Structure formats: structure tokens, C-alpha cells
Structure 1
Amino acid sequence: MTFDLDSDFRPFPALEQIPFTKFRFPAGEAHLRITSHIASDKVIITHRASSFEALGEILLAVDALRRLGVKHLELVLPYFPAARQDRVMIFGEPLTVKVYTDIINAQGFEKVTLFDPHSDVTPALLDSCQVISNTPFIKEVISDLPSDTYLISPDGGALKKIYKLAQDLKDYDVVECSKSRNVQTGEISKFTVYQDDLQARPCLIVDDICDGGGTFLGLAKALKAKNAGPLYLAVSHGIFSKGLEQLCEVFEKIYTTNSFTDHPLSPQLIQVPLEDKVVV
């Protein structure tokens, strides 16, 4: 059985779903109630969590299920909300990913499944963690693109994953890039493409997260300066906090999944559902 805390996200549609209600008390506290008996001692909790409140919903679900006698619990978190805060860069900051993972580990899940986490830090901190790679998602993407497309690594942090991806896909060349960032402000000042001439070939930037999109707009400009052909963007977790207008001016197509939310249909934005393609 599954306990799908986001009613629009059901990664295991073939499994029976536990019925429940979510509501708030007048003072604002979140609450939930399971509305039927549970006929299984194993439940998979799923959630597209992006905040501490969503993490709190998971904790409430765990307690409610335990009180109903469920002994075996698993968790599916396609997007891990604190994954980018995986190191302390500035004095006085918390190691947020450690805070989240400590809370999740305390629940005693038998398995925690993540889709394409930001780095190796989160899986290393989580007990019984299973990682679903971005390979099935990118296979879906490249089937829609020319066969001579370059795979573009936007920075050093993406190199390990993109070379593993290229090995899985076979016959795709990788172009390495880098960026310089001000640690204090987060501002990116320079992009470098480590190839002199891209020969007007199509270029697919592959990364895990697109938030505001500034990294990809700056990198697109640097790629065009090196004679890039049509540009495409594939991100596992599409947040798009500043909208898609500027990105759509630069990229022929933008590919993402529904790991973070469901996006409106758009001719340039293609959303690959995790229910069918990745989470198994």
C-alpha cells in the first residue's frame, strides 16, 4: 500500500492507496487523519517535499501508521529539499542536509528512495538509501534530439554523473564547462567552455536542478560564443522559480520531470512523468 501525501503524485499507481484527509487547526497547525483500516503491514510513504512543513507531514504520517500497527515503512522522496545545502560555506550557517537526514533516519524507514540527488552527500547521510539515476529520464530526452548532440556538463559538480551517463548512453560526447561563484552573494561571474569549436552541433545541458535558471542562461551565452548549435536543457528537478520566459528565449526545448511539481503544458517544456519512467 502507499500513503501519497501529495495527492497529485502517485509513483506506484498499481498499489492500493491509503485514504486520508489533511487539514489545519484554527491556530494553523497541520494535521492529518487516516480514514480506513489498513490491511497491510508494509506501506510506502511518498511525497514531493520541498519544505520543513512537508517534512512534518511525513512525520505525522509515520506516527499515524505506526499507531495503526504498520511495521514496515519505506519512503520515496523524488526531490530532496535540503540537498543543495550539503556543506557549510559561510560561518554561522547550519548544515541543513544533515538536519533533514537526521530527522528522516530517526523514523526507521527500511528504505529511502531518492531520484537524482544533488550530490553524494545526501545518500551518504541517509540510512538504507536507494538512488534512482537520471539515465532513464535522459534516455527519453535524447530520443527526441539529433544523434550528434553534445552532452554539456555545466560545472565540476556535474562531471562525475555526466560521464557515468555518457557511459550508459554510449556514443555521446561530453563537453566540460565550469563557473565561478561568489560564496558570499551566490552570484556567478564567469562561465568557461573547455572546447574551442562546437561545430554548430546541438548541445544538451544536463543537470539535476533548475531553480532561477541564471546558471543556464549564462552558460548558454558561453556555448554560443563557442559556435554551439541549437541548445536544449534537461533538469531532473524543475523548480523554475523565476518562470520560463527567459529560458524559452534561449533553449529550443526544456525537459524536466514531475519530481518537484506539475508544470503547465507548454510547447517548449516537456515533462517526463516519474510514475512511468523512473521510480520503480
Structure 2
Amino acid sequence: MLKFNGVELGLKQFPNGETLINGDEILTHMAEFNTIVWKYENDGDLVKLMFIKSYLDDRRVKCTLTIYYLPYSRMDRVEGTSAFTLKYTAAFINNMNFESVTIIEPHSDVSLALIDRSIGKYPTIQLLEQVANEVGFDSEMDYLFFPDAGAQKRYSKVQGYQQLVGYKARDFQTGQIKSLDVVGHTPSEGFKAIIVDDLCSYGGTFMLSAEKLKALGATHIYLLVGHCEHSIYKGKILETDLIDKVYTTDTILHQAEHDKIHIFAMGGL
């Protein structure tokens, strides 16, 4: 999905699948300061984005870009013969030469380093207090849990929360988690925990995290993630009582299809 100055573009296709760009639709919503909001649905969005930006370039119109979820952001390093697809995606975006690029909840600093004139926005941090209030979080008794060092780096600067960190071993090629250990002051029994991270797919990491937290004495566990993929409905996270509720934003999901999921509307921040 692509929006131009807040209006979703009704992009159509020719019978053979080629994209039809309606120039009148773009010109109608032209402003002094222009921005494109990109909500990733599939790789075809990149071609559509390139067509729209090229159309604006032909008219010497400047434009910024807001990316709800940056695809391939998990592929932020190379191991063995793996392809550095984040680097290739970033190069494609850089070639469009936006005035600035805002990335919502970037997976790591690598995304910001690879994309020119980019900044990161972190709605998870902004929503944490709201979620804590809703679940009755006690800052003296309860804990935030970061599933890995990356999550700790992104979110541990928040003040007023006790924190635990998970250290996991993952097979980079398959994405499967081999093990997860909890590091930090061991809490007493009867505490609540909010797991905080940037992205949920099938939810395997968070299921394992919840099992570890339950073993430490957690009675209620909640998950707060910036992005939540549709694959959560295919995983087991919604089928068990390990995690009481999942809080996320609409950067990927459109609407909740399960009563355990709460979606905050971001509107591009």
C-alpha cells in the first residue's frame, strides 16, 4: 500500500500484471511538501514506489518517504553464502534519492546505516507506558523482558522498569532458535512480564521466552512488538495461555483477527 500526502493511491494493473500509474491522482494531491508512506505488502511495491518517485522527479517535485516496515531488515548481515538482501533493498531505495527516509521500528542500526538520510522512529517505546497501565504493571514487582541483545539495545534505555534479557542461539539459515537463556536479577514468583521486541513472525522466540519466564515464576505475560506479521495466525502463540495478550501496531496487520491481539493505529506517526 502506498499513500501520497495521506491519500492511498488506487494503483491498478493492466491485464498482464503491469502497473498503471494514474498521473492525475498524483497531481491532484500535490503539495509544497510531499511525502510517500509505504506499507509493505509484497516486493511489487518496490517497483510501484520507483514509478511514483520517477513521475515526481520528471516534474522536479521533492518528496520524503516513510516506511512502515522495511522488508529484508532481518537480513542485516552475511553468513556463509547468504545474500545481503537488505543491502540490495537499501541500494534500490537510495537510487530514488528521497529528501529523507523515516523507518518505523528499524530492526537494527544497519538499516539506518545503509539507507541515505534515514531516521528511525520507535512506536514501541511510545506505547510501552500505555500497555503497562492497561495490564496493571508494577514497576517495583514486574519486569520487561528483551528476547535478545538487539532488543535490549533498542529498548533498554526506557526508564523506570526492571529488566531481564534473553540470549538466544539461532540458525541463521533456517531462522530456528537452538536455545535461549535468561540473564539478569532473578525475580521473585508472582510477577508480570512484558516481552518487548520489534517483530513477531510465527512467535517461536516469544513462546520460548514465555516458557522461560513462567519457569521463573511469571503469572501473566504480555507481548509488545512494533511489527506483527500475518504468520502469527499460523503459529502457536494464540493457541496457548502462555502469553495473555499481544500488542502491536498497524505497520503490517490491517485489523486483529483474534481477541488476543490489540492493534494500535499508527498513521505513520
Give TM-score scaled by structure 2 length.
0.88
Q: Which residue of 2 aligns with 1:56?
A: 47
The count of corresponding residues between Structure 1 and Structure 2 is: 260
Please report how far the alpha carbon of residue 178 of structure 1 lies from its aligned counterpart in structure 2 after TM superposition. Answer: 1.3
Q: Does 1:156 pair with 2:149?
A: yes
Q: Does 1:232 pair with 2:225?
A: no
Please report how far the alpha carbon of residue 216 of structure 1 lies from its aligned counterpart in structure 2 after TM superposition. Answer: 0.7
Please report how far the alpha carbon of residue 244 of structure 1 lies from its aligned counterpart in structure 2 after TM superposition. Answer: 6.5
**Aligned pair in 2 of structure 1 residues 178, 264: CA closer, same or farther (>3 Å)?**
same
Please report how far the alpha carbon of residue 265 of structure 1 lies from its aligned counterpart in structure 2 after TM superposition. Answer: 5.0
Q: Does 1:201 pair with 2:191?
A: yes
Q: 2:247 aligns with which of 255, 259, 266?
A: 255
Distance in 1 between residues matched to 2:87 and 2:190, nearest whole Å: 44
Question: 1:267 is paired with a residue of what secondary structure?
Answer: coil
Q: For the Cα contact (< 8 Å) 1:257–1:272, is it kept in 2?
A: yes
Distance in 2 between residues matched to 1:16 and 1:46, nearest whole Å: 8
Unaligned runs of 5+ in 1: none
Percent sequence identity over aligned pairs: 28
Counterparts of 1:121-132 in structure 2, within 5 Å, are 121-132=110-121
Q: Does 1:143 pair with 2:133?
A: yes
Unaligned runs of 5+ in 2: none
Question: 1:212 is paired with a residue of what secondary structure?
Answer: coil
**Aligned pair in 2 of structure 1 residues 240, 221: CA closer, same or farther (>3 Å)?**
farther
Q: Deviations over 1:141-199 (max 9, x none)?
A: 222122323110101221111212x2xxx321111111111234322121211243442
Q: For the Cα contact (< 8 Å) 1:20–1:35, is it kept in 2?
A: no
Please report how far the alpha carbon of residue 82 of structure 1 lies from its aligned counterpart in structure 2 after TM superposition. Answer: 1.2
Letter paired with 1:235 = V
Q: Root-mean-square deviation (CA), in Å?
A: 2.1
**Aligned pair in 2 of structure 1 residues 171, 21: CA closer, same or farther (>3 Å)?**
closer
Distance in 2 between residues matched to 1:245 and 1:16, nearest whole Å: 33
Q: Does 1:109 pair with 2:98?
A: yes
Question: 1:180 is paired with a residue of what secondary structure?
Answer: strand
Distance in 2 between residues matched to 1:242 and 1:271, nearest whole Å: 13
Q: Which residue of 1 aligns with 2:261?
A: 269
Counterparts of 1:2-21 in structure 2, within 5 Å, are 5=2, 17=7, 20-21=9-10
Q: Which runs of 4+ in 1 moved over 6 A?
A: none
Q: For the Cα contact (< 8 Å) 2:203–2:235, is it kept in 1?
A: no
Q: 1:65 aligns with which of 56, 73, 82?
A: 56
Question: 1:229 is paired with a residue of what secondary structure?
Answer: strand
